[in-house]
Amino acid sequence: MSSGQSMLVLGATILFALISLRFNTAMLQNTTLEIQNKVNLTAFSLADDLIEEIKEKAFDQKTIDFQAIAANQLTSAYSLGPGWSESWPNFNDIDDYNGYSKSVDLPHAEGYTVTSSVKYVDSDGSELSTQSFYKKVTVTVASQYLNNPVTIAFIFSLHSKN
């Protein structure tokens, strides 16, 4: 074999090695992206599940048995959270979820933490320090596998029950 042929074989080997390395890098990136998407989807599902659970609750402790009520009769903005005798899963109104935190371990993705906060807001979503007929629930799901926590919010309004 001449030196020219040896150089061609060496060049082809280097080219093959570079193509193989690039292919492996692309496969690793695709696998990483797939796992990140699964973790994000799981986090979003956990947040949405909690919002759906909260939707089933009364607007306020004072509205469990519906009655006409003025905003200043609702739970104080500084008292949002479960009462001394209330604990999850027996919450009965929206503001019981203020300060709620739960660890969730699922197969293939352990260590999710679901937290929520409840604030009074006005009709455009701006936070208030007094009672109103609107409560904003913010649910955040964090995990060591997430680049950023997943946060969703929902505004509840006091409405009549039919």
pLDDT digits (tens, 9 = 90+) for 136-146: 999 999 998 88
Phi, psi (deg, nearest 5) at residue 137? -105, 125
Between strands 101-106 and 109-120, the pairing is antiparallel
Q: Tell me: pLDDT of 42 over 80.
A: yes
Q: Say what the pLDDT of residue 72 is.
A: 83
Residue tagged 């006409």 (tokens): 68
Q: Where are the domains of the chain?
A: 3-157
pTM beyond 0.85: no
Confidence of residue 86 (pLDDT cuts 50, 70, 90): confident
Which residue type, as a one-letter code, is found at position 138?
T
Q: Say what the pLDDT of residue 160 is.
A: 45
